[in-house]
Chains A and B, each alone.
Chain A
C-alpha cells in the first residue's frame, strides 16, 4: 500500500499524530508540573539562597559569595565533606559486592529461593527510623545485645556509637545491611536477562565457571552495574536518616556527613543561606561523580544481548 498516493489519508495521519502528541503531553503534564514545582523550582531557590543570609524569620539579605568564602574557614563543614567520602567508601564497595554475591546465589537453583529473595529485601522495606531504634539498642555498649553477646566469648565490645573510630563504620554497616537486598534485586534482574545459550556454548567450549563469570556474566551485567552504582552512590552521598536516629552526627561531628551538616546548619542554627551553599556544593560533588561514572561505563557497556 502506498499511503503517499492518498492526500486525504496523509492529512488524517497528520491529524492523528497531532492528537496523539497532545494526548502524550497531557499525560506528561502531571509529572512535568511535579518535576518543575518540586525539583526545578527548589533547585533554583536553593542556588539563589546560597548567595543570601537568611534566618527563616526575617527577610533574606544578599551577601554575594560570602557563604562560599566562609566555607574555607569552617573546619566542621570541611570535616563533613571528608566524612561523606569516608562513608561512601565504606558503604558502596561492601554493599555492591555483597549484593552481587547474593544475586549469584539467588540465581542458582537452590531450595526456597523465593523465600530467601523476600527475606533479603525485607530490611529495605522497614522504616529506617524504627530500625535506628533497634540498632541503637543492639549497639548500646552497656545494656545492648551485641556487647552482651560478645561478652559470652570474653570479648570486650567497643562503645560503638560514641567511639569516633567506630561510629562511622557502624553506621555504614547498618546501611549495607539495609540496602544489600534491594541492590541484589537489580543484579538478579540483570543476571536473568543473560541468555543461557551463552553459558551453554561456553560449556561446550570447555570454559571454566570462573572464566564464564568474568567473560560473560560481568560484561553483560554492566547495564545493571551502571544503574546500581549511580543510584546507590547518589543515595550514599545523601545519607541522613540512619545518622539522625543513631548518632545525631556525633561523637564530636565524627558521623556528620555533608547532608547532615546541611540539616544542622538550616534547622538547628537557622543559617538557611549557608546551608543552601552546602547543598549546592553537595549537588556539585554528586553531579561530578555521576558524570565520571557514566563516562567510565559508556564505552564498556553492551545493552543488546542478541
Chain B
C-alpha cells in the first residue's frame, strides 16, 4: 500500500527528478522559497563550487505555500531535494517522522565551533538529542516606516523609541498611530472632523497568518507565553495573551488606525510592504527578511526602521531563524553535509550578509548586515536591539499545522470584529492541543 501510494505521488515528481551524476560528479538538489534571497543563494553556491567543482547544485525554488506542499509530496514519493531550507514551525514533525538526516556526528567529526551561533538559535534545531541543522539566519520584528509620512504629520522619529501601549487607553503608541491616520480632508484620527470611512493613510499595517509579525509581539510585550516550554501545550488562551489579541483587534476596530482586516487578512489579503509602498499605511510591523521589498517599493531615503512599542510588561519581539536540512533518503549524504557545512560557515554567510540578504546565523557577522543597510541609508539596528531584548520564538509543536489553520481562521474573524478574542483564543488552543 505504501508503495502504491508513493507511486501515485511519485509519477509527477519522478518525471522532474532527472539529473544525477556522470563521471563521478554528484548533483545535489537544493530547495528554498524566498525570491528576495535568490541572489545570495546563487552567490553562495558559486563560492561552494570553487572548492567543490565535482558537486553540481541544482536550485529548486517554490514560493512559501507551494514549497511545503511540494516538499510533502516529494517526501512521500521518496524523491525530496537533498538539501532544503527548514523552518522552526515545520521542523519538529519532519524530525519526528525521521525524514531528516541527523548531523550530530558530522558536527563532532568536523569539530565545528557551534558557539559561533547564538545558543538559542542553534538549539532550536535539536530534537530528541540529535541536531538537524546549522542556523542559516535569524530574524526579528520591528516597526518599519515611511520617513515622509512622519514628516508630514510633524512627528520626530526619535519619539518611536519611547512609545508605549496599554489595553485601556492605548497609550502613546495608539496616539502616535492616530496622528498618522489621515482622512481624505487631511484630518487625522485625533481630530473631531476625522472621517473613519474615508481614510487615505492608516497608521499601521499588519498582516500575518500565524501571529509572528502582529499579535505575538504585543503578546511578549504583555507577558504572554504561547507555550510554557518547547513541545508543551499551547497556552494562548491565558489573560495576558487574550489582552494582546484584543489590543490588536482594537487597533483595527476601536482605534481604527490599522489598515482594515478586510484588506489585510491572510492568506489572500495584501502584504504589509504593499500597503506601505502604496502610501496606504505610514508604518508596518514586519520582519527583517522583508527589508529589500520595502527598499524596492519606496523612494531612496524614505525607509526607516524603529523599535516596536513597549507594552505593560516591557519591550519584546518575536525571533526566528532558518536552517539547512538534509533529506534522510539522500543518495549523497557526504556531499550534502559538505554543502550544509559550507552554508553554515562564516565564509558563506558573509556573502549573504554583505548582499544585505538576511541577518546571519553566525553572530560575528551581524555588523556586516548593519553596514550594508547603512550604505543604503537605512538604520536597521532596531531589529538587532529588539532581538537582544526580551523575545519569544515560534512555538515548537508537532501540531503546528493544526495551529496554523485554526489560528488564521479564528483570528481573522477577531480582526474583522466578528468574533470575541477570548472565545477565539480558547477555540484555537483547544483545537491545536487536541491535534
Contacts and interface: CB of A to CB of B under 8 A. Distances in A.
Interface string A72-113: 000000000000000000000000000000000000000000
Given A37-B11, A141-B262, A251-B412, A54 B5 contact: yes
Contacts of A159: 260, 262, 416
Contact of B263 (A52, A142, A245, A250): A142
A288 interface: no
A45 B261 CA distance: 41
A78 to B, nearest CB: 16
A57 B401 contact: no
B97 A141 contact: no
Contact of A246 (B7, B260, B268): B268
Nearest to A59: B2
A159 B1 CA distance: 47
Given A161-B268, A245-B268, A269-B402, A52 B409 contact: no
A142 B183 CA distance: 12
B99 interface: yes
Interface in A11-68: 37-38, 41-42, 45-46, 48-49, 52, 54-60, 62
A85 B1 CA distance: 33
Contact of A162 (B5, B199, B265): B265
Given A48-B4, A246-B268, A57 B99 contact: yes
Nearest to A55: B97
Contact of B412 (A38, A45, A250, A272): A250
A305 interface: no
B267 interface: yes
Interface stretch (B23-31, B68-76, B120-128): B68-76
Interface in A153-179: 156, 159, 161-162
Contacts of A270: 72, 93, 401
A253 interface: yes
A251 B413 contact: yes
Contacts of A248: 266-268
A264 B11 CA distance: 22
Given A56-B76, A267-B69, A269-B401, A48 B97 contact: no
Nearest to A156: B197
A222 interface: no
B281 to A, nearest CB: 10
B413 A142 contact: no
Contacts of A58: 97-98
Contacts of B413: 251-252
B113 to A, nearest CB: 33
B397 interface: no
Contacts of A251: 265, 412-413, 416, 418
B1 A52 contact: yes
Given A56-B73, A57-B94, A162 B8 contact: no
Nearest to B202: A142
A141 B260 contact: yes
Nearest to B73: A56
Interface centre among A52, A60, A245 (most CB of B within 10 A): A60
Contacts of A264: 405
Interface string B378-419: 000000000000000000000001101100010011001010
Contact of A142 (B94, B98, B260): B260
Contact of B2 (A38, A46, A60, A269): A60
Interface string B1-15: 110110111010000
A247 B267 CA distance: 8
A45 B8 CA distance: 7
A247 B268 contact: yes
Contacts of B412: 162, 250-252
Contacts of B72: 56-57, 267, 270
B208 interface: no
Interface centre among A38, A41, A141, A268 (most CB of B within 10 A): A268
Interface string A250-276: 111100000000001001111010000
Contacts of B280: 142-143
B241 interface: no
Contacts of A250: 265, 268, 409, 412
Nearest to A267: B69
B55 interface: no
B428 to A, nearest CB: 13
A242 to B, nearest CB: 11
A140 B69 contact: no
A162 B261 contact: yes
A250 B419 CA distance: 14
B358 interface: no
Interface string A144-157: 00000000000010
B284 to A, nearest CB: 15
Contacts of A48: 1, 4-5
Contacts of B409: 250, 252-253
B259 interface: yes
B405 A56 contact: no
Nearest to B70: A267
14 contacts: A46-B8, A48-B4, A57-B72, A57-B98, A59-B2, A140-B270, A142-B260, A142-B262, A143-B280, A159-B262, A248-B267, A251-B416, A269-B401, A270-B72
10 tightest A-B contacts by CB? A57-B97, A56-B76, A159-B262, A45-B8, A248-B267, A267-B69, A59-B2, A162-B262, A141-B262, A56-B72
